[in-house]
Homo-oligomer: A and B are copies of this chain.
């Protein structure tokens, strides 16, 4: 069982958007370039984040992506569900009712105990993800990004966003 590859890209993209100065939309092209990602596939992840109300697009020559909400108001769970969907990981097909000893559905008054146990573990996972905000992720990132990279990143964004303005 694996998350889609796009999830890593989506969370990093949101974390990068959270770092941008207010009123600085980030064009998709620069987002893809920054992480060295294939732009068409990144576009699909951004579309999912947009559909989930996590990012939004600003049109125009200085357009691009911005966060739709404050980083404090975006959780890791929301990003995960935007990309991988909200469905449970364990699907119960009620095989306990199948076969020669199964009885009518009305006799099974609760969901299967196996499914309930699996879903309880999923709930613990969801709870942890819901307790982690993009702001938390941002603070971890700020503390951990090598100063050499921070300096390069600021210079790169200034050069590239500036370049965009004069194009």
Binding site for B on A (CB under 8 A): 1-5, 7-9, 11-12, 15, 33-37, 76, 84-85, 87, 89-93, 95-96, 98-103, 107-110, 112-118, 120-122, 124-129, 132, 136-137, 140-141, 143-146, 148-149, 152-153, 156
Q: Across the interface, do A101 and B153 meet the contact criterion of CB distance under 8 Å?
A: yes
How far is B122's CA from A144's CA once the two chains are assembled, in angstroms?
Answer: 22
A89-B3 CB under 8 A given contacts A100-B152, A114-B15: yes
Q: Across the interface, do B121 and A128 meet the contact criterion of CB distance under 8 Å?
A: yes
Q: Across the interface, do A76 and B118 meet the contact criterion of CB distance under 8 Å?
A: yes
A98-B8 CB under 8 A given contacts A103-B146, A116-B140, A146-B107: no
Determine how many copies of this chain the complex contains.
Answer: 2
Q: Across the interface, do A89 and B1 meet the contact criterion of CB distance under 8 Å?
A: yes
A91-B3 CB under 8 A given contacts A35-B98, A121-B129: yes
How far is B152's CA from A107's CA once the two chains are assembled, in angstroms?
Answer: 13
Residues of B within 8 A of A37 (CB): 95, 98
User: Contact partner of A1 among B84, B112, B129, B132, CB < 8 A?
Assistant: B84
How far is B108's CA from A120's CA once the two chains are assembled, in angstroms?
Answer: 36
